[in-house]
Chain A
Amino acid sequence: MSERDPYKTLGVSRTSSDSEIKRAYRKLAREFHPDVNPGAEAEQRFKDINDAYDVLKDPEKKAEFDSAGRPRNASSQSGDWVGGFAFSDHAGRQGDPFADIFEAFGRRGPDPAAQRQGMFTADQHVRLGISLEEAVRGATREIVLQQPSIDANGNVVLQDRRVAVAVPKGVAPGQFLRLPGQGLLAQEGGRPGDLFIELVLEPHPVFRIHGSDLLMDLPVTPWEAALGTKLVLPTPGGSVNLKVPANAKSGQKLRLKRRGLPTSPPGHLYVVLQIVNPEATSPEAKDFFEKMAGAFDFDPRTHINR
């Protein structure tokens, strides 16, 4: 959830100085930067931190929040229409929090002046989270973009614009797409820019994504592991038959060739076996384990006990 109080978000008090606020912001920005901490949670947190700093670094907005309890533009815009694939929407604008640092290193973020000259103005950049299933099978997703335009009163307003994005089958994680002519209309009668889309694979509850390979843990019973078994495994690309060999060991890795992401070349699916014991709660079950103990001359700790 987005924290509405920018002081709380940055963990500073109302009496904190500008430099204390800046320090707190920089520390949190480093900690929660989504390129350092993958996941939707860090991304949201990073946006909140930036929204909070947007209010507190601006004396006017800060004074307004202090008196009214909310900033003038309470709704934060997620529109990344300036600054490339940014996580924060103030990158490259005037008042960039790190403008001084960029200047110290002799360069800046995207130059607003260059943008006014039409250098990048018309291109639009969006990060689109897709599920593993969508990456494997392809999908059509609708995204909502914001197009700035001027209303009857001469104010700049952001209008929603819907674009259908065909996610191609078999995209690799972090794949970029270009939709020509789907960017912003910089000026009436001008040529619209392109829409660039960064496809980000969302974490999956069952499959771990490692490049083009997929990894999953497969729980098996002790008897399945001992005797071997055949089972049907649901995968994002459809069901596959899996043969668990007899005398399989816990942690044993089985490779299903070309059953990973259907990229080119396709990845593999790795199944890691995990032997799971049933709980012996009933007298019958306990009795059964007793019999097993009697029937096997088995010590898994020989290497420890010598």
Chain B
Amino acid sequence: MTNGEHEILNTLSVTDLCRVCCVDRTIIVSLVEFGVLTPAGRSEADWQFDQTGIQRAVRACRLERDLGINTAGIALVLDLLEERSRLLSQIQMLSGGDS
């Protein structure tokens, strides 16, 4: 058994995000162009993706790969999923967790 040190990924550059998502750079760039990802930094070389961005990117790439959804569709699906989870937690709050 190997026991290695770990690094918590809080922010990532576009190059590292490509490695995490296992996708080509063009895919991340198009996710940014469609507003799915909103990195900090002005130019592509300076982009920094925070934790929410990393999670969104991984989800987006999975949806694209597994379901064949295009970028505009992913943008819509992720927005709707986030809206749904917000509403679900509101229901939980209102119903005292019976749901």
Contact = CB atoms under 8 A, between A and B. Distances in A.
Interface of A: 26, 29-30, 33, 35-36, 46, 83-88, 91-92, 97-98, 101-102, 105, 107, 109-111, 114, 120, 123, 125, 142, 161-166, 168, 171-172, 174-182, 194-198, 208, 210, 215-217, 250-251, 253, 272, 274
B22 A179 contact: no
The 8 closest A-B pairs by CB, nearest first: A84-B22, A98-B68, A101-B68, A176-B9, A162-B1, A164-B3, A174-B55, A217-B97
A251 B89 contact: no
B45 interface: no
Interface in B47-99: 51, 54-55, 58-59, 61-68, 70, 77, 81, 89, 92-93, 96-97
Nearest to B78: A35
A195 B2 CA distance: 12
A164 B1 contact: yes
A254 to B, nearest CB: 13
Given A35-B81, A162-B2, A178-B9, A85 B93 contact: no
A84 B2 contact: no
A29 B66 contact: yes
Interface residues of B, number: 38
Contacts of A120: 19, 22
Identify whether the interface residues of B are mostly helix, strand, loop, or mixed.
helix
Contacts of A168: 6, 8
B65 to A, nearest CB: 5
A179 B7 CA distance: 6
Contacts of A198: 58
A84 B21 contact: yes
Given A208-B97, A215-B93, A107 B65 contact: no
B2 A91 contact: no
A277 to B, nearest CB: 15
Given A177-B9, A194-B19, 11 more contacts: A33-B63, A91-B65, A92-B22, A107-B24, A107-B26, A142-B1, A164-B1, A176-B9, A177-B6, A179-B7, A197-B6
B81 A84 contact: no
B91 to A, nearest CB: 11
Contact of A35 (B5, B62, B93, B96): B62
A180 B4 CA distance: 8
A123 B81 contact: no
B60 to A, nearest CB: 9
Nearest to B72: A105
A110 B62 contact: no
Contacts of B96: 217, 250-251, 272, 274
Q: Which among B63, B68, B77 has the greatest number of chain A C-beta atoms within 10 A?
A: B68
A87 B21 CA distance: 13
B2 A182 contact: yes
